[in-house]
């Protein structure tokens, strides 16, 4: 158990809908990262937040947004969902993130999103 | 677009044998190289973070080396055991002026240890 929690574990929804995925980092970790794992794709970095502020951005679609709250939990919002958004979404956390590339990242169990 | 290549894609090894696999990454603006182990139905588990050329890290029977000048890292498993069966991912971060970007992952080497 990494100490990172994600809810829900599974989510099934329809095209055009909007969903919110939630992540609580390990106690004391300031950075949260979101990744997407689609079929036949490697883990794709979406976005990083550090102590409430956006720190780095990857291949995140404009239909997706994220935020990190004062208690350091994070939410990933996915809107106008398409079939191709079906994937496993992971959250990871690390202690700092000011130099995020060198921090060990601890992954949560993931949320499996299915868009029908 | 950064490319992180891992080879081989999959590997079958007899229990007790040693094995190794490769991660290739861009050598310019290197920041860090991460190795993860990902077992089925679990989340990726961090093995090593390596930053310096010539770095060698070890955790039990698993070790890794890093060559930043030529852009590759090797992961070694000595005396493979069935519990080593997993997908091994490497991930690369690059310095981009304002700090490091997020990790770019390879597609992994799927290792199966046969008893």
Do A109 and B45 make contact, defined as CB atoms within 8 angstroms? no
Residue B93 has pLDDT above 70, yes or no: yes
Report how far residue A101's alpha carbon sits from residue B95's, in angstroms, rounded to the nearest whole number. 8
pLDDT at position B99: 52
Q: What are the residues facing B48 on neighbouring strands?
A: B35
pLDDT tens figures, B6-62: 999 999 999 999 999 999 998 887 888 999 999 988 999 999 999 999 999 999 999
| 3-class DSSP state of B82 | helix
Do A101 and B31 make contact, defined as CB atoms within 8 angstroms? yes
Closest C-alpha to B104, from A28, A20, A59: A59
Note whether A92 and A107 are within 8 A (CB): yes
Q: Work out the pLDDT band at B101, boundaries 50, 70, 90.
A: low
Using a CB–CB cutoff of 8 Å, tell me whether B2 touches chain A: no
Question: Is B97 exposed, middle or buried (CB count within 10 Å of its CB: 0-12, 13-18, 19+)?
Answer: exposed
Please list the pLDDT of chain A residue by residue as tens digits (116 residues). Answer: 889 999 999 999 999 999 999 999 999 999 999 999 998 788 999 999 999 999 888 889 999 999 999 999 999 999 999 999 999 999 999 987 655 577 889 999 999 999 99
Please report where in the chains the tokens 């055009």 appear, as a residue: A16
Taking CB atoms and an 8 Å cutoff, what residues of chain B touch A2? Answer: 43, 45
């Amino acid at each position: 158990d990494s100490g990172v929690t994600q809810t829900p574990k599974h989510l099934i929804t329809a095209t055009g809908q909007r969903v919110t995925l939630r992540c609580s980092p390990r106690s004391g970790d300031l950075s949260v990262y979101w990744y997407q794992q689609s079929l036949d794709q490697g883990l794709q970095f979406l976005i990083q937040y550090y102590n409430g502020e956006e720190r780095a951005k990857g291949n995140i679609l404009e239909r997706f947004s994220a935020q990190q709250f004062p208690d350091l939990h994070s939410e990933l919002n996915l809107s106008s969902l398409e079939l191709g958004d079906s994937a496993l979404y992971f959250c990871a956390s690390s202690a700092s993130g000011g130099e995020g590339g060198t921090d060990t990242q601890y992954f949560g169990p993931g949320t499996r999103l299915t868009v029908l | 677009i950064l490319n992180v290549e891992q080879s081989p894609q999959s590997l079958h090894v007899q229990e007790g044998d040693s094995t190794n696999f490769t991660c290739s990454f861009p050598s310019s603006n290197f920041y860090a190289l991460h190795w993860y182990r990902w077992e089925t139905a679990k989340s990726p588990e961090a093995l090593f973070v390596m930053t310096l050329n010539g770095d060698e890290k070890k955790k039990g029977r698993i070790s890794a080396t890093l060559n930043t000048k030529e852009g590759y890292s090797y992961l070694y498993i000595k005396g493979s055991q069935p519990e080593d069966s997993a997908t091994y991912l490497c991930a690369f971060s690059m310095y981009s002026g304002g700090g490091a970007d997020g990790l770019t992952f390879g597609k992994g080497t799927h290792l199966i240890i046969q008893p």
